Amino acid sequence: MRLRLIILILAVFAFLSASTGGWLYYYSYRKAVFQNAETQSAAQLKLLTDQLSTYLSEHIKPIKALARIRELEQALLNQNLETIFQANQILDLFTRSLELDVCYLMDRDGVTICSSNRNQHDSFVGHDFSFRPYFKTAIQGQPATYLALGTTSMKRGVYYSHPVHDQAGQNILGVAVIKSSIEFIETTLFSASEHILLFVDPDGVIFISSQPALRFKLLWDLNEEKLEELANSRQFGNGPWEWSGFQRPAKETVTGPGGNTFLYTSLPVANYPDWQVVFLRNKKTLEKQVSQPFIQGIGPAVICISVLAGILVFFLYQQAVKEIAQRKEAEKKLRMSEERYRDIYHKTPIMLHSIDTQGRIIRVSDHWVEVMGFARKEVIGRHLTDFFTPESKNYALSTIFPRFFETGFFKDVPYTYIKKNGEKIDILLSCYGVRDETGQVVRSLAVSVDVTEKNRTQKDLEIAKEKLSRYSQDLEKQVSRRTAQLEKAQTNLKNLSKNIIASQEREKELVARELHDHLGQVLTALRIDAIWLKNHLAETVADAADRAEKMSFLIDKTIQDVRDMSYRLRPRVLDDLGLADALESLVSDFEKRSNVSCVFRQDPIPEIDKTLATALYRIGQEAVTNAIRHAEATTINVELRTDVYGLVLTVQDNGIGFDPAKSTRQTGFGLEGMMERANLAGGWLDITSATGCGTCITCKVKVKG
């Protein structure tokens, strides 16, 4: 009976659940449909508003172009048959091309003097439209757009006005106006439907409507003062403007004249302040769209749910009988599982124990008592800390036990056990708390891992690491001493190289001076004697005079060779005028002796010592020589400048280039010599080159001070 009662209660609960679920589903479905309709309406209204703004603004540029046509200016300046005829032709052309209602031209007083509808019964010619806001705005110099009902044609339209200036653009002669019909807009955008679309002015006058009966009616009821202002504006004719009967009791709903409720949505139209597009959706229609599909589907669903509920009751009865049998079988298996657990607990080769909330041992594994050397009866009921060293006991009672009974878990806690024979063993203990129904830890299941041997090995390893560290420190000291010796040797070698180069420069300077001063003077004296012999033998011994003349020529050539050798060994301009003039002289000399264009550029540079000037000069001399000799260059640029680092010497050519990584070590001065000179001068040399891309050699040297 109890089982049948439970099943009956479950059946009633299932029916109530199905009913509640159906109602909740209908409510959620209805809400989702309304939200979806609201979203779609907002999107459609936004699209409609953008399209309406585009249509209403499409003739802003044409009216600007029309106002700048010269024929309209002439008609306003000189009103005669010829100028009026020309202006009318322009207005006719614009009307036909843009498919407009009418284009017309007004003078400064607002009187129409030209119009494309001049030959029709509702011609604008001669009419005074100065009261229109679009004229008042345009005559002040600003273009305007205006929505209104024509006072002459009685047709709705969009008026675009623009001032017509004289040729100098200083004075306003009149106003050009385009009127475009809104019939196409209304037919295209405001198509008839079960919902209502309206385009209303700031006072609520319905200018465009999806329902023709609502045109020029008032969306909201206006007071007499507002109606009088509306009549005086003549924007929508002479009235009367009846109230459409719509009322707005809430922000999102509107009540119609027939008692229907509409969902209200509106959006402003760009470029038309306070004009709005209003979307009124019939709430009954929306609810019908929601409820009808739901009702058509809910009937079969209720029958199906009832049948399923009966089947479910019978199935539950059968399952309950099976469940009782399965529960008895599960209890039997649980008892067997507990027996297997106890067997595994005691026979596993790991130290396992359990304690209660007081810290007393309530269970230990066989391996635990075997390792510790105690009998089981000597352990059960005693505090676990009785088997700890004093340090481990204090650590457990003060730190581990309180935190364990709070969190229910600990991993790898280091303890030291004392065995029965007094031997100490190091262990890592991990424990898990078993909780009761209230969530309180009532006992533990702990695993102890013997790490005594591991700790001994770790200590031995630390001792070995300490010895290795001392050996490493000794080795570092030896390396440091050896490094200092190598640095000293390198410094000595560098000083030796610097002295050798300095000695070479001094010898070159001495040889150059000897060549220039002594040998040059001797050759000059020989040349004077040869010229004297030539002059004295010219009349007596002609052959001797010719030989003396040849001697003079050879002596001149030898003098020039001696001067060139002296210059190459040590240019005096380097000592007399400095590095910049010496480089300029070097470049000029190379250009004279080759077919290569050599260009030298320099910035103002500080004073530098003779050694640094010589090093930079030799680097530039070798770089230019290599470019002429090996690079097949046609242009060489030499630049001496300064930057934040110091002096920068750059030699760049447009020759065949080479691969610096594959270049072999050359004899003589060469690339290695330039690098050595740059290093000795306290700078560095950068060589940038690639096959077919020329070569750029840059030397940077830091200048003291």
**pLDDT tens digits, residue range 124-168?**
899 998 889 999 999 999 999 988 888 888 888 999 999 999 888
Q: What is the DSSP string of 159-179?
A: EEEEEEE-TTS-SEEEEEEEE
Q: What is the C-alpha to C-alpha distance for residues 688 and 660, in angstroms, rounded to an integer?
A: 8
Task: Let me know whether 446 and 480 are in one domain.
Answer: no
Determine, yes or no, domain membership for 491. Answer: yes
State the pTM of this model: 0.41
Determine, yes or no, domain membership for 569. Answer: no
pLDDT at 251 over 70: yes
Task: Let me know whether 533 and 581 are in one domain.
Answer: no
Determine, yes or no, domain membership for 518. Answer: yes
pLDDT the model gives residue 666:
46
Q: What is the C-alpha to C-alpha distance for residues 694 and 657, in angstroms, rounded to an integer?
A: 4
CATH number, domain at 635?
A: 3.30.565.10
pLDDT the model gives residue 667:
41
Q: What is the C-alpha to C-alpha distance for residues 56 and 71, in angstroms, rounded to an integer?
A: 27
pLDDT the model gives residue 377:
87
pLDDT the model gives residue 163:
95
pLDDT digits (tens, 9 = 90+) for 417-464: 999 898 889 888 988 888 888 888 888 888 888 888 888 888 888 888
pLDDT the model gives residue 18:
63
Q: Single out the residue in 116, 147, 181 at which a domain terminates.
A: 181
Higher pLDDT, 2 or 475: 475
pLDDT at 289 over 70: no
Higher pLDDT, 567 or 102: 102
Determine, yes or no, domain membership for 48. Answer: no
What is the mean predicted confidence (pLDDT) over 88-104?
92
Q: What is the C-alpha to C-alpha distance for residues 27 and 25, in angstroms, rounded to an integer?
A: 5
Band (pLDDT 50/70/90 cuts) for residue 89 is very high
**Which among 122, 115, 239, 100 is positioned nearest to 183, based on CA atoms?**
100
Task: Let me know whether 533 and 473 are in one domain.
Answer: yes
Q: Tell me what percent of the residues of the chain surpass a pLDDT of 70.
A: 82
Task: Let me know whether 404 and 508 are in one domain.
Answer: no
Task: Let me know whether 670 and 614 are in one domain.
Answer: yes
pLDDT at 121 over 50: yes
pLDDT the model gives residue 555:
77
Higher pLDDT, 439 or 24: 439
pLDDT the model gives residue 281:
80
**Domain count of the chain?**
4
What is the mean predicted confidence (pLDDT) over 586-613?
84
Structure tokens at 381: 């009921």
pLDDT the model gives residue 669:
46
Task: Let me know whether 540 and 581 are in one domain.
Answer: no
Higher pLDDT, 142 or 336: 142
Q: What is the C-alpha to C-alpha distance for residues 57 and 284, in angstroms, rounded to an integer?
A: 37
Q: Element (H or E) spanning 599, and its range?
A: strand 597-602
**Mean pLDDT, all residues of the chain:** 80
Cα atoms found within 13 Å of the Cα of residue 229, Cβ hemisphere only: 8
Q: Single out the residue in 535, 550, 565 at which a domain terminates.
A: 550
pLDDT the model gives residue 412:
87
683 secondary structure, DSSP code? E
Determine, yes or no, domain membership for 585. Answer: yes
245 secondary structure, DSSP code? -
Across 61-65, 228-232, 315-319, the highest mean pLDDT is recorded for 61-65
Determine, yes or no, domain membership for 357. Answer: yes
Higher pLDDT, 177 or 155: 177
**Which among 627, 588, 609 is positioned nearest to 680, based on CA atoms?**
609
**Which among 158, 59, 67, 154 is positioned nearest to 106, based on CA atoms?**
67
pLDDT at 79 over 50: yes
Determine, yes or no, domain membership for 161. Answer: yes
pLDDT the model gives residue 174:
94
pLDDT digits (tens, 9 = 90+) for 374-403: 988 888 999 988 899 999 889 888 888 888
What is the mean predicted confidence (pLDDT) over 299-327?
67
Enumerate the β-bridge partners of residue 439.
none
Task: Let me know whether 593 and 696 are in one domain.
Answer: yes
Task: Let me know whether 374 and 405 are in one domain.
Answer: yes
Q: Tell me what percent of the residues of the chain surpass a pLDDT of 90.
A: 14
Q: What is the DSSP string of 606-665?
A: ----HHHHHHHHHHHHHHHHHHHHTS--SEEEEEEEE-SSSEEEEEEE-S----TTTPPP
439 secondary structure, DSSP code? S
Task: Let me know whether 445 and 467 are in one domain.
Answer: no
Task: Let me know whether 380 and 429 are in one domain.
Answer: yes
Domain that holds residue 484: 463-550
pLDDT the model gives residue 434:
85
Determine, yes or no, domain membership for 291. Answer: no
pLDDT the model gives residue 261:
82
What is the mean predicted confidence (pLDDT) over 557-584?
69
pLDDT at 508 over 70: no
Task: Let me know whether 621 and 650 are in one domain.
Answer: yes
pLDDT digits (tens, 9 = 90+) for 647-667: 999 999 998 888 887 764 444
Q: Single out the residue in 181, 202, 226 at which a domain terminates.
A: 181
pLDDT at 226 over 60: yes
- CA-only gyration radius of the chain, Å: 56
pLDDT the model gives residue 326:
76
CATH number, domain at 159?
A: 3.30.450.20
User: Which stretches of 42-154 are assigned E, i.e. beta strand?
Assistant: 102-107, 112-115, 144-149
Strands 206-209 and 196-200: antiparallel
Q: What is the C-alpha to C-alpha distance for residues 519 and 565, in angstroms, rounded to an integer?
A: 12
105 secondary structure, DSSP code? E
Task: Let me know whether 624 and 650 are in one domain.
Answer: yes
Residue 100 DSSP SS3: coil
